[in-house]
Amino acid sequence: MHSFEGLEHALSLERFGRYLQWAGGDRTRALELYLYNTRVSEAFYTPLQMLEVALRNRIHDVLSARYGEFWFDEPRVLVGADMRKRIDEARTTLSRMRRPETPGRLVAALTFGFWTGLFGSDYETLWQRALYAIAQRDNGKGLRRKDFSAPIGKVRDLRNRIAHHEPILHEPLGERYASIVQLTRWLVPAGAQWCETYSVLPQVLAGAPTLVVEVKPAEPLDRGV
């Protein structure tokens, strides 16, 4: 017989309690669900990595062409003190690491929350002027800002839950994976093809265990990550 006391203490009773609830109180099944949550979170790394890197590089390329490679210092681009703060934090990070500041390094140091923040309603004008060029539909037609902002907001929340090692089994994981691939395809078709070729997520999702008790989704975590 396995002892779960040490594990429950390490995970915190509150965290492990969610898996117990999903497992209908069965501790063995709860541990299996916890292990599966870890596996599926790990499997999301490949498509999430491709989307995040493709997104920031496409935005950087398009805005550099319009405003120069230091576009983030252009007053007409960023809206609000929070976005400026994120730029300052990225610069502080590079300085602390004693790395010379270059546009490429600064772009890599910015969080996913920064990039997805560029799709908020405050950036409709920027979308119309320049950002629309980062992506196009499979048929070559253009996209609206909202076509991007709605799905990427849900992907961001999932990504943040994974980054904080939170449970994600209550999420529509198949839908989220499809959104990630679609967004990537709009940005860089070859990136989506790479995901579909090398991601093990579909196989992991195919082996998903059934939750005994359905639980409402948790509140989204901080979107700034």
Length of the chain: 225
Mean pLDDT by 10 residues, the chain (225 residues): 60 76 88 93 97 98 96 92 94 92 94 95 96 92 92 96 93 96 97 96 91 58 49
Do the domain assignments include residue 121?
yes
Task: Write down the pLDDT at residue 5.
Answer: 62
Task: Write down the pLDDT at residue 223.
Answer: 47
Do the domain assignments include residue 147?
yes
Task: Write down the pLDDT at residue 208.
Answer: 85
Nearest one of 82, 201, 219, 110 to 157, comparing CA atoms: 219
Do the domain assignments include residue 219?
no
- Number of neighbours of residue 171 by Cβ within 10 angstroms: 17
Q: Are 213 and 151 in contact, with CB atoms under 8 Å apart?
A: no
Dihedral sign (CA 165, 169, 174, 178): negative
Do the domain assignments include residue 6?
no
106-138 b/e with 16+ CB inside 10 Å = b?
Answer: bbebbbbbbbbbbbbeebeebbeebbbbbbeee
> Position 181: which residue type?
V
The boundaries of the domain holding residue 157 are 46-67+112-204
Task: Write down the pLDDT at residue 40.
Answer: 97
Do the domain assignments include residue 13?
no
pTM (two decimals): 0.87
Task: Write down the pLDDT at residue 205.
Answer: 95
Helix 173-187 vs helix 45-67: crossing angle, to nearest 10:
30
Residue in the structure block whose two tokens are 């600064």: 106
Do the domain assignments include residue 77?
no
Task: Write down the pLDDT at residue 216.
Answer: 55
Do the domain assignments include residue 137?
yes
Helix 45-67 vs helix 189-198: crossing angle, to nearest 10:
170
Nearest one of 58, 66, 60, 44 to 188, comparing CA atoms: 58
Do the domain assignments include residue 144?
yes
145 Cβ contact partners less than 8 Å away, ≥ 6 residues apart: 119, 123, 124, 127, 131, 132
The number of distinct structural domains making up the chain is 1
Nearest one of 6, 8, 132 to 59, comparing CA atoms: 132
